[in-house]
Amino acid sequence: MTTAGRDPGLQPERTRLAWRRTTLSCTVVALLAVKQALHGGAGPAAIVAVSLSALAWLGFLWVAHLRVLGMGTARPRPLSARGALTAAACTVALAVFAAAMLF
């Protein structure tokens, strides 16, 4: 027996909110990197780390935006392997660049 349609309930909305919270967290991390670079003196290494952090943040923002838009349908597709890998790589990159700025 098959059902005519899928009732996703509030699951897509919860997923959209989770992506937005995660994007907000990444934004805070990127802004703290800028603050740390300005507070610690903007040397060449700090400028490179902040620039790379900004690129990682933009990459994550792009993936999150596409995912939030994709959750607007009645049957959202699963996150692609490429999107998941990009989001994970951007998250790890932000952590690595943050650690590099501390040392």
Of 38, 65, 44, 55, the residue nearest 90 (C-alpha): 55
pLDDT at 45: 75
pLDDT at 95: 87
Residue 62 has phi, psi (to 5 degrees) of -65, -50
CA distances from 86 to 12, 15, 24 (A): 21, 18, 17
pLDDT at 60: 93
CA distances from 99 to 10, 11, 42 (A): 37, 35, 16
pLDDT at 3: 52
Tens of pLDDT along the chain (103 residues)? 455 565 567 777 888 889 999 999 889 888 888 887 777 666 777 788 888 888 999 999 999 999 988 887 777 788 899 999 999 999 999 888 878 777 7
> Rounded to an integer, what distance in angstroms lies between the CA atom of residue 31 and that of residue 50?
9
Domain boundaries, given as residue ranges, for the chain: 11-102
